[in-house]
């Protein structure tokens, strides 16, 4: 409600609702199942956290796989991709590095906009926003 006007949500899920996360997770699992069953060349690896997904797929199959995934529920979700650059790929707060022997190494990833500012644990924010920890993250 804003200035006595009521808005009616006709699509999607309400942010902050207790039911939204499990419904979203169920939808994404259903979408994955459908995508894998109908794809000509499904990804070899698929890992997801909420709406962030990391897949391993051959470069030659990328365009057709992306098109296929995006045509499944184009009114609800759109997949995009980031390619490995200089043997590095950021996923969530992790930077995955491919070493010359093809093994993987991980470090903490921070976006350029990261400020290193955190809420004081004793502040008057809701407890869900206060995280008490003693981890020191080295600046890159």
Neighbour count for residue 39 (Cβ, 10 Å): 16
Average per-residue pLDDT for the chain: 84
Per-residue confidence (pLDDT) for residue 111, from 0 to 100: 87
Look at residues 48, 45, 46, 41 and name the one whose alpha carbon lies nearest to residue 65: 41
Summarised one tens digit per residue, pLDDT across range 89-104 is 998 889 999 999 999 9
CA–CA separation, 67 and 43 (whole Å): 13
Does the predicted model carry a pTM greater than 0.75? no
Share of the chain above pLDDT 70, in %: 87
User: What is the residue-wise DSSP string for 82-98?
Assistant: ---BTTEEEETTEEEEE
């Amino acid at each position: 409600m804003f200035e006595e006007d009521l808005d009616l949500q006709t699509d999607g899920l309400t942010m902050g609702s207790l039911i939204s996360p499990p419904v979203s997770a169920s939808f994404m699992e259903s979408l994955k199942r459908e995508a894998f069953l109908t794809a000509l060349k499904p990804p070899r690896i698929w890992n997801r956290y909420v709406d962030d997904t990391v897949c391993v797929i051959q470069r030659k199959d990328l365009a057709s796989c992306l098109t296929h995934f995006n045509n499944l529920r184009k009114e609800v979700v759109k997949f995009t991709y980031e390619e490995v650059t200089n043997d590095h790929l950021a996923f969530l707060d992790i930077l995955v590095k491919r070493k010359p022997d093809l093994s993987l190494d991980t470090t903490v990833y921070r976006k350029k906009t990261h400020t290193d500012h955190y809420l004081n644990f004793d502040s008057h924010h809701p407890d869900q926003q206060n995280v008490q920890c003693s981890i020191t993250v080295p600046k890159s």
